[in-house]
Structure 1
C-alpha cells in the first residue's frame, strides 16, 4: 500500500485545523503519529520530544484498531465508537486508500458506526466478523445493516 508523504500529512493536518473538522483531535492524533520529528515539530512546536518515535507500520495499527473499534461497537460505546470511525478513516487515508475513505463517507452512522467500520474492513478485505463468538457475530451483522443488535429489542442502547 502506498503511504502518504510527510508533506501530504502536514497539509491534511493543517486543513483539518483550518476547517475545524477534528474538534477533539482524534484524526490529528493518528496523522501526527505518522510524522517524523522534523515534520511533527512544524505542527507541535519546539517542545516536541526529542525522542519522538513515529508510527511506521500503519497497516498493522489499522488492523489492530479495527478489532478495537469492533469491540466498541459490540459494547455499545458511543463516544469510543465515534472516535474509532474517525481514526479508521484517517488510517485508510494514510494508507492511500481514498476509495475506502469515500466508501466510509457514503455510509450512514447508525448503530455506533457499524456500517462505516464494515466499509473500512470490506475495503481492505479484512475480517469483520471472524474473531467473534456467534452471538456477537449476529449482533454485529445486524448493526452493520443499521438494525438493533437484537431483533427482540436491545437492552444496552441500540435504537431504530
Structure 2
C-alpha cells in the first residue's frame, strides 16, 4: 500500500490545525507518526530527537487498530470509540484511500461509530465480524445497523 508523501502529511496536519477539526489531536497523532524526523520538526518540536519514533508499517497498524476499535465499540466505550473512528479515518487518508474516508463520513455516528468502522473494514476488504464469537458477532452486527447490541435491551449504554 502506498502512503501519502511527507509533504502531503505536513500539509494535512496544518489544515487540521487551521480548521480546528481535531481538537484532541487524535488524527494528528496518526499523521505525525508517519513523518520522518525532518518533516516532524516542521509540525512539532520534540525535546530530544532520540525520543522520536516513526511508524513504518501503517497497514499493520491500521489492521491492529481496527481490532482495537471493534473492542471499544463492543465495550460501549464512547470516548475511546470516537477516538478510534478519528484514527481509522486518518489511517485511511494516510494510506491514500479517499474513497474509504468518504464512506466513513457518510453514515452517522450511532452505536459508538460501528457503521463508520464497518465502512473502514469493508473499504479495505478486511474482516469485521470474522474474529468474533457468536454473541459479540451478533451484537456488533446489530450495532452496525444502528440497533441496540441486545434485542432484549442493553444495560451497558446502547440507545435506540
Taking structure 2 as the reference length, the TM-score comes to 0.97
Contact 1:41 1:48 in 2 (8 A): no
Cα distance in 2 for residues equivalent to 1:158 and 1:51: 41
Structure 1 unaligned segments of length 5 or more: list them.
none
Is 1:107 matched with 2:110?
A: no
The 10-residue stretch of structure 1 (42-51 or 71-80) with the greater mean CA deviation from structure 2 = 42-51
Taking structure 1 as the reference length, the TM-score comes to 0.97
Cα distance in 1 for residues equivalent to 2:59 and 2:85: 16
Counterpart of 1:3 in structure 2 is: 3
CA RMSD of aligned residues (A): 1.0
The aligned runs of 1:1-160 (5 Å cut-off) are 1-45=1-45, 47=47, 49-160=49-160
Cα distance in 2 for residues equivalent to 1:52 and 1:79: 27
Cα distance in 2 for residues equivalent to 1:69 and 1:48: 31
1:50, CA displacement in angstroms? 3.3
Cα distance in 1 for residues equivalent to 2:159 and 2:49: 44
1:46, CA displacement in angstroms? 5.7
Number of residues of Structure 1 aligned to a counterpart in Structure 2:
160
